[in-house]
Amino acid sequence: MIHVVAITVGQWGLRVPAREGETTRRALIDEEALDLSLKVRRDGDALLLPLLDWREGAEQCLFEQNPERVVLPRHELVGGIAIMPERDRAGAQKILASRPSLHTIVYAKGEVSGEYRTREFEVLAGTPTTRTEVIEYGHRFHVDLAAAYFSARLSSERQRILQQTGRNETVLDMFAGVGPFAITLAARAALVVACDLNPQAVELMLENIAQNRTKNVLPVLADARRLAGIFPWRFDRIVMNLPLSGTEFLKEAFRLCKAGAMIHFYSLVSEEGEHLSCIQKLGGEVIAERVVRSYSPGQWHAVYDVRVGN
């Protein structure tokens, strides 16, 4: 008698009520976020869907391998590009062959670094480019991984802030990159001012504004430190996504706010409440502090939703 032993592996899983399982599974496939090498698991009234990467609400689970699927080396997807953490040319060819939506496989040579928060890449397979297009909740963003920062992992954060944005609001995105927060929030806000120091990021942002036919984003190539001197306006909402050094700009952000405004302040932290006292000293009240994603053991990206006092 032959016993078939199922191989189980640990992976991030998304728990959904069984009745929502198929809709969520399809949505995850469209986002290229479902780990197709693993089998969906039933757990009581819920289904556990295996994910390629962490996202809000994900938990660590054990899944059985899907024998019909080729097991691919680890990679992260950004539009038509797969980013590999290892310089594995054979693995890159395997990924390219098994994912028809991809045009390029790159190896991330180093960490995100420098003022522009960019990384160096080496193309391992496919078209020699670091440019691609990302589709996110109906928007299309041109990105160039080597020229300007972009993270697909923040898509649910952009939607969360969109839900809070009011119709008459004037919003400032202090570190806008190629414009994903700004263009997303522009669907509701009256005006979004989108600032970045990196000229290539602003060039891509202009392409993205045109491509998405957005009429109420004002791109600004500037150092965010100088904004209070440039603009006479005060804002209802400010997005601060510069996790490593955002604290240096908090004072400036408070200066740019109307009384009662909201600041969404992203930071790399190693303990809960790390920035509470600094925010309180500036006259802010922390409405919520949430984990956005893990970064390294003992460190995570957090977002503080801060209400600015009168």
The answer to whether 258 and 235 are in contact (CB under 8 A) is yes
Positions in 19-58 near ligand SAM (CB under 6 A)? none
The DSSP H or E segment spanning 289 is strand 284-296
Q: Pick one of 124, 154, 253, 306: the residue that binds ligand SAM (CB under 6 A).
A: 154
Positions in 56-115 near ligand SAM (CB under 6 A)? 115
Structure tokens at 143: 């990105």
- 195 scored as a contact of ligand SAM (CB under 6 A): yes
- 141 scored as a contact of ligand SAM (CB under 6 A): no
Could you tell me which stretch among 3-11, 38-46, 160-168, 192-200 binds ligand SAM (CB under 6 A)?
A: 192-200
Structure tokens at 125: 């397979």
Positions in 203-242 near ligand SAM (CB under 6 A)? 223-225, 241-242
Minimum distance, C-beta of residue 171 to ligand SAM, in the bound complex (Å): 12
# of chain residues touching ligand SAM (CB under 6 A): 23
Compute the distance between CA of residue 203 and CA of residue 200 in angstroms, rounded to an integer. Answer: 5
Compute the distance between CA of residue 255 and CA of residue 253 in angstroms, rounded to an integer. Answer: 5
CA distances 192 to 34, 215, 264, Å, are 33, 10, 14
Residues 287-306: b if buried by 16+ CB within 10 A, e if exposed: eebeebbeeeeeebbbbbbb
Compute the distance between CA of residue 58 and CA of residue 232 in angstroms, rounded to an integer. Answer: 43
SS3 of residue 113 by DSSP: strand
- 116 scored as a contact of ligand SAM (CB under 6 A): yes
- 176 scored as a contact of ligand SAM (CB under 6 A): yes
Given the complex with ligand SAM, which of 124 and 193 has the nearer CB atom?
Answer: 193
Minimum distance, C-beta of residue 153 to ligand SAM, in the bound complex (Å): 9
Given the complex with ligand SAM, which of 38 and 148 has the nearer CB atom?
Answer: 148
Residue number, nearest CB to ligand SAM: 177
Residues making contact with ligand SAM (CB under 6 A): 115-117, 148-151, 154, 175-177, 180-181, 195-198, 201, 223-225, 241-242
